């Protein structure tokens, strides 16, 4: 098996280095979902996804929920190889989210709500307004090698303190979560298969 390892790595690289599955229950607990807002879990046709990229050694978890006239919610967690990548990803997520919401809805303004607690190395909370009226929030944070991002409309927080109370349990779960480099996990799987074959 070992003599074939270089070829297997090449195949993974050429294949796009991407695999998509469903998150485990533990991984799903990292995401903000409709139930966190007190809504029925399956009412808004939720979509849950896990994507592994072996080239960047990252895992992306995402959840999307949309119930007409009630709530639109997108949340994502990136499990990355280092803290610098997580901080950069957090910054990029909030910038990209702002551009996306601006294209989807006219006359949107974004108001940064200063956070009262120190969380991670990059954290930003934004109140979204349309024609001056609040209609949702965006939030992004990096904690170690993990990045959390969410955008939701139909519900909103105008107080940073209220949002911090709301999101604190989710961030505690994220902070405690430990993940392995997906490339190493994949390699361990190859070696264990080789051991079993012997």
At 24, list the tokens.
């485990």
Distance CA 98, CA 59 (A): 23
What is the tens place of the pLDDT at every residue in 141-182? 999 999 999 999 999 999 999 999 999 999 999 999 887 765
Q: What is the reported pLDDT for 8?
A: 47
122-130/108-112 β-pairing: antiparallel
Helices (H) and strands (E) in the chain, counts: 5, 8
Tens digit of pLDDT for each residue in 1-49?
A: 445 444 444 444 444 455 677 888 999 999 999 999 998 877 778 999 9
Closest among 152, 174, 171 to 37, alpha carbons compared: 152
Helices 5-14 + 182-197 axis angle, to 10? 140
What contacts 52, CB < 8 A, 6 or more positions away?
18, 19, 20, 21, 58, 59, 60, 182
Q: Does the pLDDT of residue 193 top 80, yes or no?
A: no
């Amino acid at each position: 098996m070992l003599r074939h390892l270089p070829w297997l790595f090449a195949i993974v690289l050429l294949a796009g280095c991407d695999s998509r599955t469903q998150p485990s229950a533990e991984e799903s607990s990292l995401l903000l979902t409709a139930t966190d807002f007190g809504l029925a879990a399956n009412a808004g046709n939720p979509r849950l996804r896990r994507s592994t990229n072996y080239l960047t050694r990252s895992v992306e978890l995402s959840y999307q929920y949309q119930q007409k006239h009630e709530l639109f919610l997108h949340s994502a967690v990136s499990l990355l190889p280092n803290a610098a990548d997580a901080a950069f990803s957090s910054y990029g997520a909030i910038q990209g989210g702002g551009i996306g919401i601006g294209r989807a809805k006219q006359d949107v303004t974004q108001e940064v709500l200063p956070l009262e607690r120190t969380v991670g190395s990059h954290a930003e909370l934004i109140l979204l307004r349309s024609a001056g009226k609040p209609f949702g929030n965006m939030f992004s944070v990096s904690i170690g090698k993990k990045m959390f991002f969410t955008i939701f409309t139909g519900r909103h927080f105008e107080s940073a303190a209220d949002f911090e109370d709301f999101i604190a349990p989710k961030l505690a779960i994220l902070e405690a979560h430990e993940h392995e480099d997906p490339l190493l996990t994949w390699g361990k799987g190859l070696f264990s298969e080789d051991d079993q074959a012997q």
